[in-house]
C-alpha cells in the first residue's frame, strides 16, 4: 500500500524541485534563445533569466517570487492508497512552510489568504486512470502572471486550421510582455470548453522542442511558433525575435458542431517535476 506519508513527502520534494530547478529542456531552449537572439536588449533579458536560474539552483531558493498555484496531475493505477487527497494537501502545506513557497491562495471574494496554499478545491488535482500498478505525480506550480493571459474560444467548425492559428496568435499578441516572455504556448483543440483548456494546460508538460507525433499537428505547432516569433514582442516584451520557446498542442475529439480552442500561456519558468510510486 502507498501510505499518506509517502505521498506527502513525494509532493513536498516535487514542489521543492520544481520551484528551484528548471527542467533541462526548458533551460536548454533558453540557452539556445540567448545564442540566436540578435537584439541587444533581448540578449540582456535572456542573460538575466539564465543568471537567475543558476543562482536559484546554487542557493536552493525559488527562481521566481510567484511560486504559483499548486496544480497536481495524477496518473492512478489499480493499487491500494491510504489517502490520496490528504497526502497531496499535506505535501503542499509542508512545501509552503519549508521550501518556502509564497502563500498565494486566497478566497476569490473576500481575498482572505489561507496561508497554506491549500483551500476550497485547491490544490487543483487532476486524476487520470491508467492500467499500470503505480501512481505518478506531476506537480505544476503555475504562475498567475502567465495564467491571466489564457483564453478560450468556442469556434465554429468552418473556421478550421486558419481560425485556430489566428486565435492563438491574437491571444499571444494581446498578452504582449505580461506573461514574461519568452513563453511556452499550450493549445488544446476539441472536446468541450473545459476539456480544451485542460489539455492546453497538460500540453505544457511536454518537452520543449519535441513535436507532436501526429504529423499534421506537428506542422501546426511549427507554423504557429514561427508566426509568434515574427511578432517582435521578444523577451520580457521589450523586443526581439524570440517571443516563444515552443508551441505545444493536444487534441480531443469533439462535437460535430463545435471547435473549442483553449490557449494556456506559460512564462519562461516552465516549472514541473514528476515522480512515480509503486507498491
pLDDT at residue 183 in the model:
98
Contact 233, 181 (CB under 8 A): yes
pLDDT digits over 137-161, tens only?
999 999 999 999 999 999 999 999 9
pLDDT digits over 83-113, tens only?
999 999 999 999 999 999 999 999 999 999 9
pLDDT digits over 207-251, tens only?
999 999 999 999 999 999 999 999 999 999 999 999 999 999 999
| CA distances, 43 to each of 202, 209, 241 (Å) | 30, 21, 10
Cα–Cα distance for residue pair 171/183, rounded to 1 Å: 12
Kindly report whether the peptide bond that precedes residue 123 is cis, defined as omega within 30 degrees of 0: yes
Backbone angles phi and psi of 230, in degrees to 5:
-90, -5
pLDDT at residue 88 in the model:
98
pTM tops 0.85, yes or no: yes
Amino acid at each position: 500500500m502507498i501510505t499518506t506519508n509517502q505521498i506527502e513527502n513525494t509532493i513536498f520534494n516535487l514542489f521543492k524541485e520544481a520551484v528551484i530547478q528548471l527542467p533541462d529542456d526548458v533551460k536548454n531552449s533558453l540557452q539556445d534563445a540567448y545564442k540566436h537572439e540578435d537584439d541587444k536588449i533581448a540578449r540582456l533579458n535572456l542573460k538575466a533569466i539564465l543568471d537567475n536560474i543558476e543562482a536559484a539552483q546554487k542557493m536552493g531558493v525559488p527562481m521566481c517570487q510567484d511560486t504559483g498555484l499548486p496544480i497536481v496531475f495524477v496518473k492512478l493505477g489499480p493499487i491500494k492508497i491510504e489517502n490520496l487527497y490528504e497526502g497531496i494537501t499535506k505535501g503542499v502545506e509542508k512545501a509552503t512552510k519549508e521550501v518556502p513557497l509564497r502563500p498565494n491562495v486566497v478566497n476569490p471574494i473576500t481575498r482572505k489568504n489561507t496561508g497554506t496554499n491549500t483551500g476550497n478545491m485547491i490544490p487543483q488535482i487532476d486524476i487520470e486512470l491508467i492500467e499500470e500498478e503505480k501512481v505518478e505525480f506531476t506537480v505544476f506550480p503555475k504562475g498567475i502572471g502567465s495564467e491571466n493571459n489564457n483564453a478560450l474560444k468556442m469556434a465554429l467548425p468552418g473556421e478550421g486550421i486558419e481560425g485556430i492559428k489566428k486565435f492563438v496568435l491574437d491571444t499571444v499578441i494581446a498578452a504582449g510582455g505580461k506573461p514574461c516572455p519568452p513563453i511556452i504556448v499550450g493549445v488544446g483543440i476539441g472536446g468541450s470548453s473545459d476539456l480544451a483548456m485542460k489539455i492546453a494546460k497538460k500540453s505544457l508538460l511536454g518537452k520543449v522542442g519535441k513535436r507532436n507525433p501526429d504529423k499534421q499537428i506537428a506542422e501546426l505547432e511549427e507554423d504557429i511558433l514561427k508566426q509568434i516569433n515574427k511578432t517582435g514582442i521578444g523577451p520580457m516584451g521589450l523586443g526581439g525575435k524570440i517571443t516563444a520557446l515552443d508551441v505545444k498542442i493536444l487534441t480531443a475529439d469533439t462535437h460535430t458542431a463545435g471547435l473549442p480552442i483553449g490557449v494556456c500561456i506559460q512564462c519562461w519558468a516552465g516549472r514541473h517535476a514528476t515522480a512515480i510510486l509503486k507498491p
